[in-house]
Amino acid sequence: MNSLYRMIVLSCLFFAMIALIGCAGGPQSESFGEHIDDSVITSKVKTSLLRDPQVSGFDISVSTFKGRVQLNGLVDNADQLEQAGRLAREVGGVSSVENNLSIK
């Protein structure tokens, strides 16, 4: 009975370890936790852009990968372009901003 109990415990530990390794991210992929963090960052940046009266957040798409935010879309002028980048950098968790916005 004792060896059966050990076998069950070891099997459970083995499968738990495999499950945790499967959730780990690599250089080209995100772990589940990183994906959630990036989704939160994307939402906060988009909300910040939509709330700002100077920037039209509807014309800007935001994507995040491992804390790096990418802004794409069109703005009316250079001030809006700079303001959008500044707003994105101010969000907590953002490690860098790639501002690919273009002026209409």
The number of folded domains in the chain is: 1
For 61-100, how does the pLDDT look when each residue is reduced to its tens digit (9 = 90+)? 999 998 999 999 999 999 999 999 999 999 999 999 999 9
Q: For the domain that residue 82 is a member of, what is the CATH number?
A: 3.30.1340.30
Q: What is the pLDDT of residues 19-60, one digit of tens each?
A: 555 555 555 555 555 556 889 999 999 999 999 999 978 899
Number of C-beta neighbours around residue 85 at 10 A: 17
Query: pTM for this one?
Result: 0.67
* Boundaries of domain holding 44: 27-103
- Cα 96 to Cα 71: distance, rounded to the nearest angstrom: 11
- In whole angstroms, what is the distance from residue 67 CA to residue 45 CA? 11
Residue 5 lies in a domain: no
3-state helix, strand, coil in the chain (%, to 5): 55, 20, 25
